[in-house]
Chain A
Amino acid sequence: EVQLVESGGGLIQPGRSLRLSCAASGFTFDDYAMHWVRQPPGKGLEWVSGISWDRRDTGYADSVRGRFTISRDNSRNSLYLQMNSLRSEDTAFYYCARNTIMDYWGRGTLVTVSS
């Protein structure tokens, strides 16, 4: 069974940094591209970042480019999102999703940026 489990969310002050993790199981992790998608409470979905299976290609939404960094460790079946210079508008549930078509999603982790 495919499982994606996000962790690392919490309450953080503006300007600080946070690192999210996504633990994958039930499939061959290094066969798939992976993505981060976020959703502010009560609002719609926003693609944040994606990474190819071999880490060669990465992409970012304009809203996070230069502040967030996506990475993966295929030996640990894990996906990461390093978030720096956090802003209040980064407050959201953060989901990791598998594959270009995002066929499986985790349950999400909530990041709240507030003083």
Chain B
Amino acid sequence: QSVLTQPPSESGTPGQTVTISCSGSNSNIGSETVNWYQQVPGTAPKLLIYNNNHRPSGVPDRFSGSKSGTSASLAISGLQSEDEADYYCATWDDRVNGRVFGGGTKLTVL
């Protein structure tokens, strides 16, 4: 049972916008910044969004992050087949005194 709650799966068609949610509490998302990672099966995770809404260089602006209260979201616009991957949110949790990940969301491009 992950401290951060994500939907197990989401799907969309090419060109659509998909949003992945990440729900936490005051001890984590409510008081800390959120990062998002993309993992294509068989490869290492890749940083997609850091500090809630910042993109590392090289990440397309189709990817955007936001945070409100104890929840965060990752939006992917102009969905492409290459976006099919697992997505994880992560932050620090004061209660467990460590970093925590969401359970991951498998994105399928139909």
- Which residues of A are in contact with B by a Cβ distance under 8 Å? 35, 37, 44-47, 50, 59-62, 95, 97, 101-108
Contacts and interface: CB of A to CB of B under 8 A. Distances in A.
Contacts of B47: 101-104
Interface of B: 2, 35, 37, 39, 43-47, 50-51, 56, 86, 88, 90, 96-104
Nearest to A59: B98
Contacts of A107: 43-44
A62 B96 contact: yes
Contacts of A101: 35, 47, 50-51
Contact of A47 (B39, B51, B56, B100): B100
5 contacts: A50-B98, A97-B45, A102-B90, A103-B50, A105-B44
Contacts, number: 56
Closest 4 CB pairs of A and B: A47-B99, A105-B44, A101-B50, A44-B104
B45 A105 contact: yes
A30 B90 CA distance: 24
Task: Specify the main secondary structure of chain B where it touches its partner.
Answer: strand
Nearest to B102: A44
B97 A59 contact: yes
A95 B45 contact: yes
Given A45-B45, A45-B104, A107-B43, 6 more contacts: A44-B2, A47-B90, A101-B35, A101-B50, A103-B56, A104-B47
Given A45-B45, A107-B44, A102 B35 contact: yes
